Amino acid sequence: MTTTRARTEPDHAHGADPHADHTAPAAAGAQQGGHGPHGYSAQKDAHLKRLRRIEGQIRGLQRMVDEDVYCIDVLTQVSASTKALQSFALSLLEEHLRHCVAAAAEQGGAELDAKVAEATAAISRLLRS
């Protein structure tokens, strides 16, 4: 499903991210757990593209329900959307381990323990979902 969005806000015309949270702190380091660029930063464009594709899948689900599509077909699309989100989450987790946890391992001590605990909690949440 391909859609075209009208870009009427001045920020969009100047290349600003239309999906950015403009209420968030300006500095990346000010974000929770932030110490500069995050592990996913190098792949940010690819991640945003992937999320927009998943967003399209969800909109497709809305359309299917609106059009009274057969329930098994809707469930098949729900499964595909869920798998896409899980795959995205695993990709982010891998980047977190390679970047954030690896950097903390160089420092050792409490920083490493905190990053490992954080990653473990994230894995636990993913397994429960």
What tens digit of pLDDT does each residue of 4-40 get?
Answer: 333 333 333 333 433 343 333 333 333 344 445 777 7
What Rg value do the Cα atoms of the chain yield, rounded? 18
pLDDT of residue 104: 92
pLDDT of residue 129: 77
pTM of the model: 0.65
Rounded percentage of the chain residues whose pLDDT exceeds 90: 62
What tens digit of pLDDT does each residue of 90-102 get?
Answer: 999 999 999 999 9
Which of 2, 4, 85, 98 is closest to 43 using CA atoms?
98
